Structure 1
Amino acid sequence: MANVLAAIFGCAAVAKLTDRRALPQAIVDFGLPARTATPLGGLLVVCEFAVALALAVRPWARGGALGALVLLAGFSAAIALNVSRGRTPACRCFGGAHTAPVGWSTVARNGLLATLAAFVALGGRFPWLFAGLAAATALAWLGLRPVRIRKVRPGMVARGFSLPDETGRTWTMDSLLAAHRPLLLVFSDQACSACSALLPQVAGWQETYGERVTIAVVSGGTQHANVLAGADGPDGAAPHRLLADAHRRVLADYGVTATPSAVLINAERVVVAAPAVGAAEIRGLIEKALRTRGGSTIARRAVLFASAALAPALASACTAARDIRSIAPSGTPPKQVEVGGGWLCDQRYALCTSASCEPSPDDPNVVICRCAVEDGYSYGFTSCDERAPKRDKLISTFSVQNTSSRTHAMTCTDRARWANCLDVTCHIDPQDPHRALCHCQSVESENFLTFGGNCDTRTCATVIWSAATQELPGVAEYKSAMKGIGLPVTFPEACPSSTPEAISRSVQPLRVR
């Protein structure tokens, strides 16, 4: 046990030593004065090395374990104080090798290590007691770990944020997209040398392509550090729109685990390309952004939701049919079909197209929707194996399986809150096996469409509907795949409207989520 602790503290000390540039800033992020950051950082590394050495030498192991207990108690107190005040600075416990916001799960992890250290300090006595404590703290650590945001992928609605730039101006997703141009979000970190090398190129892209692509840098760390990190741009100027993500929450929301990386978002706030990592892949996103021109590529892939199939959908259907015939026995509909970057699967699933939802009591970014449990073909962007039902667990995907003459597609034109449920995890309601409770992403926008509401647009503002933004891929692929295997597809009609303009809006291309 002592050797395990020695390895942990030794690795932590070495990682901090190689991350000397960021360690003082991490200490400042925890609320300590800047003038004490450098000496405290050095003292911390020395203490961790001393504890590791003592634990590794058998006669000193109990003393080393006591030292480990003192360090862990100090770490836990600092983390608990910050979290209780609503602050979640990055935990650089292992330097730059692992950076993530602290939380109560971090306190629980330190509790597990402290239990092991106490066991060593007491000379291995009371093994059953410490085994129980270790199991309890390990379960608390696992239970308190935040739910990982699903991987960013094309077709997702980009998550919102509000961050200050180098001048103190606050930028949001809406303000960055106000010019109706593609948005390239470049993710950086103040301790990332490759990011510092890329920033001059970013400044050059902003200068060259600024009229065609909006480029913003989201950098983990404090605003002041980010300004300094960007000071080596062309002619000594830093890139503008250098946004400070002080606690790296936006990086966590977008699932960023390596920097530099970037994601391309179209003018309709939809992710249009898989995240790119490294300078070469990010340059490729710039080229894609210049071709995207505000999301017209996605619009060409879409299909009129409440009308007959258009020519692009028919062409896609022909392609899908050829692919399906090549993998399915003659006359037998296949159980799964890959088309358009997603999968049509024949299995049990949750259908949320007309579900009403309620805010989650635990997470403001999540709403809980009561969706229908269905069996049959549905379309989503995860594989059929990943979507396979397991006990009470289902995945929410898209179909028009329960569409009837009473189902209508209602467009909500005013800004309101709605739920994005595609590919989210659901659990069958123990009180009603025909319903599933789905934890969907909360979104706020205008011009979204739902199968719920029964054409009463007043409910757009009073009910959180499972809905979709306009001009998203997926509906055309679903229709193509279904036609390719010879199954009928009946989309609901648009709600009647008293104005031609509203009717026109109600049949815009979109993808139900």
Structure 2
Amino acid sequence: MIRKFVILICGIVLLTCFFSCAMAELTGERITQALSDKEITVPVVCDQPYALCDTAYCVPAQDDPSKVLCSCYMVDGPSLGGNNCSVLAPIGMYVNEYGDWMIKAGYPVGQITSTYSFYHAAPIEGNEIDPNNTSPDYSGDIYLKQCMNGDWADCWNKPCSVLPQDIHADINTDRLASEYAVCNCGLVVNSSEWFIGVYGTEQCEDETLCNDYIISGANVKSMDPGIVILKRYLQENPDPNQQYTMGYCEGCVGCDDESSDEPVEETPDEGVNETSDESVPI
């Protein structure tokens, strides 16, 4: 965690200086309600580079108290966005034949959008995207942790900037990009309930994590349509890094509460009456 904060702070400082001197499938009534809510953006699946802020730690933006800056991973593959894929496509960036992230010649920084995926979701029984084709070597360890009464960062569909590894390199050449994107996310304050992505069971059991830091999150109730959409896409277009849908800490192996280990059954009469807000995936 300390390393991640160091990377985040260094990235934000460099970026500022550079510019001034970036679950189980649920269906039924709950999905129908979310899709009928005109304030909810129904996600689309794009198979292209994106920033993933599902476990991102954030710091306040100095020039805007309603914003936070979050350090996010860069991933290439299928993800959920809230716009058409051409709008979400990276600008001035690409992945070369060796798998390296590059910033194109002529661009001072790369630009990328924060979307959402099941990248490295923990392997919870019942959350397999394809139960007949999961790998024994899969090592995902990210769970969804419930948080209450506090603030969090809304990074979905937000713009992100990526510095070159060498900020002094010739701008007229293609340059290696930094490992992380710095995303300009919204600050959600005084929220009664939200969810964050955490690594492993130890963070699942951390009772103060949600309120000790500003972390990228979401209201999961409104994620349901996107989770269904992405799972169906991945069933037809397998991704080795997304073999499971995101599961909750309550179902994790070794956690105190084992009551949610049973998979959620798909039923058209689920009848959940909670309403969704406008925030979609983390």
TM-score by length of 2: 0.56
Tell me the residue number matched to 1:70.
Answer: none
Is 1:466 matched up with 2:216?
A: yes
Structure 1: where are the runs of 5+ without partners?
1-142, 144-305, 317-339
Instruction: Quote the offset at 1:381 in angstroms.
Output: 1.0
DSSP 3-state at the match of 1:386: helix
Query: 1:11-55: per-residue Cα shift (whole Å, max 9, x none)?
Result: xxxxxxxxxxxxxxxxxxxxxxxxxxxxxxxxxxxxxxxxxxxxx
Tell me the residue number matched to 1:363.
Answer: 64
Q: Which has the higher contact order (CA 8 A, sep 6+)?
A: 2
Map 1:59-70 to 2 at 5 A: none
Identify the match of residue 395 of structure 1 among 106, 113, 117. Answer: 113
Map 1:295-314 to 2 at 5 A: 306-307=23-24, 309-312=25-28
Tell me the residue number matched to 1:424.
Answer: 158
Map 1:470-485 to 2 at 5 A: 470-472=220-222, 473-485=225-237
Instruction: Quote the offset at 1:349 in angstroms.
Output: 0.6
Structure 2: where are the runs of 5+ without partners?
1-18, 33-40, 93-109, 122-138, 166-176, 265-271
d(CA) in 1 for partners of 2:141 and 2:91?
Answer: 32
DSSP 3-state at the match of 1:476: helix
Q: Give the CA RMSD over aligned residues.
A: 3.2
Map 1:11-410 to 2 at 5 A: 306-307=23-24, 309-312=25-28, 341-391=42-92, 392-403=110-121, 404-410=139-145
Query: 1:212-263: per-residue Cα shift (whole Å, max 9, x none)?
Result: xxxxxxxxxxxxxxxxxxxxxxxxxxxxxxxxxxxxxxxxxxxxxxxxxxxx
* Contact 2:71–2:181 under 8 Å retained in 1: yes
Tell me the residue number matched to 1:452.
Answer: 198
d(CA) in 1 for partners of 2:230 and 2:220?
Answer: 16
* Contact 2:144–2:247 under 8 Å retained in 1: yes
Residue type matched to 1:494 in 2?
Answer: Y
Instruction: Quote the offset at 1:353 in angstroms.
Output: 0.6
Instruction: Quote the offset at 1:341 in angstroms.
Output: 4.0
d(CA) in 1 for partners of 2:140 and 2:82?
Answer: 28
Could you say which structure has the higher strand fraction?
A: 2
d(CA) in 1 for partners of 2:55 and 2:212?
Answer: 15
d(CA) in 2 for partners of 1:449 and 1:461?
Answer: 12
Structure 2 CA distance for partners of 1:382 and 1:310, relative to 1, 3 Å: closer
Structure 2 CA distance for partners of 1:493 and 1:417, relative to 1, 3 Å: same
Is 1:433 matched up with 2:178?
A: yes
Identify the match of residue 493 of structure 1 among 243, 247, 258. Answer: 247
* Contact 1:353–1:450 under 8 Å retained in 2: yes
Is 1:512 matched up with 2:230?
A: no
d(CA) in 2 for partners of 1:441 and 1:463?
Answer: 15
* Contact 1:377–1:399 under 8 Å retained in 2: yes
Instruction: Quote the offset at 1:486 in angstroms.
Output: 5.0
DSSP 3-state at the match of 2:80: strand
Residue type matched to 1:482 in 2?
Answer: L
Structure 2 CA distance for partners of 1:451 and 1:341, relative to 1, 3 Å: closer
Could you say which structure has the higher helix fraction?
A: 1
d(CA) in 1 for partners of 2:141 and 2:158?
Answer: 27
Instruction: Quote the offset at 1:482 in angstroms.
Output: 2.3
* Contact 2:120–2:140 under 8 Å retained in 1: no
Query: 1:256-309: per-residue Cα shift (whole Å, max 9, x none)?
Result: xxxxxxxxxxxxxxxxxxxxxxxxxxxxxxxxxxxxxxxxxxxxxxxxxx23x2
